[in-house]
Amino acid sequence: MSEYLVIRINQHQVGMAHWLAIDSSGARLSTPSDGSLQEATAEIGERQVIVLVPSEEVLTTSIDIPVKGAKLLAALPFALEEYLAEDVEGLHFAAGNRRSNGRTPVSVVSHERMLKWLSALDLAGIEADSIVAESYGLARIPGTISMLISGDSVFINDGADIELVMQGISPRDVLAAIGALDTDNRDAEKPAPIPRHLLVYCETKDETRYQHDWIALRQEMNSVDVKLLPDGVTTRLAVTVATGNGINLLQGQYARKKQYSGLFQPWKYAAILMIAFSLVLVGARALDLYLLNRQEADLRHTFNNEYRQMLPGALETDDPVAVIESLKRRTGAVESAPVFLQSMEQLSRAIQQNRTAQVQTISFRAGIVDIRVSAPDVATLDNVQLAISETGKFRAAIQSTDQDGGQWNSRIQIQEVSGS
């Protein structure tokens, strides 16, 4: 089950907020808290972050428009331009899912306000998964007018298309403003409007504050149900938005670049290090393979030169090992095989054991193999010498060693041990 931290930004102090942890079933996971945005970060953990912003700053409406997706976002400024007092270039538009009546809910907010909220969140180290106008924290119930009172603000949802917030007027005046109490001048031949029901969420102080409104409204509407909020308004809003209600303002240019970054955030740096290490390892393996292939080619070239000198008319071979094995079989024993071939076999083993070493040149004269080997350190050159000599068949002696830049070079002579 998904868990969320719902953060409600303070309308008058952007850096302050109320917050509550909740799961997707609406179950509360922490006590409601308030303080700075920085303090709220302690509750995030692995939870997704839903940020509620003041509805007074966000215009919510709906529109009948046939397009979807990116085309919809591009069309909204032109479709709503005549209804907006501000220049559309300074406004951000976000759309929700099309409703059953064919209309698409839309939220409109100024870029200035969006940047202010995002800057405050960024300063606190909070990356929001969604930013929603707090009016969407009031559930839409068909056939019922839902109302929530928070201080001087009255949130209203008529169960159809009206989702707004009004300030400084009483609950009854809000209902009158949206036409919910308009029973005058009705055509007598038309049926009476469908009876309406009012569901109110408020704290105890507001129930007392507007008690005269409740008395009057119970006479004007079919029913008035007042539900108290002992844990405060934020809890009620959080329960609704956690179930997916509302339009996420993080669309278009404000859309999150990585939809799953919240999921992988705890392992981000470990993943970067692992990828870097893998690349280094793969690169090192590729370099080793390249060096070995180059050494193999060099040794094969030298082998063929010496082989043709020993056996004039012999053809060049791509498989020196096969030639050596063939000569061994022909001579009947390893000991009687040509010294050069046996020394090359031993040199090959020595290089395989010390892969940072590279054979630069090989020459064979008068039963002595003379090689020039380079390595990043003297110890590797010593190891090559010892590896050649380890069978006791040959004696390898370093004749000279010098340094060239970051590499060490040695001239090594290989001779067959007498009596071996």
Same domain, 49 and 162: yes
Same domain, 221 and 358: no
Return the structure tokens found at 278.
Answer: 């893998």
Q: Which domain holds residue 338?
A: 299-416
Cα separation, 234 vs 231, in Å, equals 8
Helix or strand holding residue 399 (H, E)? strand 394-404
59-63 and 144-150 as β-strands: parallel, antiparallel, unpaired?
A: unpaired
CB of 156 closer than 8 Å to CB of 134: no
Same domain, 41 and 142: yes
Is residue 148 situated within a structural domain?
Answer: yes
Secondary structure of residue 408 in the 3-state scheme: strand
Same domain, 87 and 219: yes
45, 278, 325, 400 from 272: Cα distances, Å: 21, 10, 49, 46
Is residue 243 situated within a structural domain?
Answer: yes
Where residue 363 sits, what CATH number does that domain have? 3.30.1360.100
Residue carrying the six token digits 């010593």: 382
Same domain, 375 and 235: no
Is residue 267 situated within a structural domain?
Answer: no
Name the domain count of the chain: 2
Q: Is the dihedral angle over the CA atoms 184, 186, 188, 190 positive or is it negative? A: negative
Residue carrying the six token digits 């006791």: 392
Same domain, 163 and 228: yes
Per-residue pLDDT in tens (0 to 9) along the chain, 420 residues: 789 999 999 888 878 999 999 998 888 899 999 999 999 999 999 999 999 999 889 988 888 888 777 788 888 888 888 888 888 889 999 998 888 878 888 999 999 999 999 999 999 999 999 999 998 888 888 889 999 999 889 998 888 777 888 888 899 998 888 888 865 544 444 444 544 799 999 999 999 999 999 999 999 888 999 999 998 899 999 988 888 778 999 998 898 865 444 444 554 555 555 555 555 555 555 555 655 666 666 666 666 666 555 555 555 666 666 656 555 554 444 443 466 777 877 888 888 888 888 888 787 777 788 888 899 998 999 999 999 888 888 888 988 888 887 888 899 988 888 766
Secondary structure of residue 160 in the 3-state scheme: coil
Name beta bridge partners: 338. none
130-133 and 48-53 as β-strands: parallel, antiparallel, unpaired?
A: parallel
Cα separation, 80 vs 62, in Å, equals 10
Same domain, 71 and 195: yes
Return the structure tokens found at 411.
Answer: 């001239």
pTM here is 0.58
Where residue 143 sits, what CATH number does that domain have? 3.30.420.380
CB of 230 closer than 8 Å to CB of 206: no
CB of 351 closer than 8 Å to CB of 359: yes
Secondary structure of residue 169 in the 3-state scheme: coil
| 177 DSSP assignment | H
CB of 198 closer than 8 Å to CB of 181: no
Cα separation, 139 vs 158, in Å, equals 10
CB of 48 closer than 8 Å to CB of 23: no
Which of 391, 68, 28 shows the shortest CA–CA distance to 237? 28
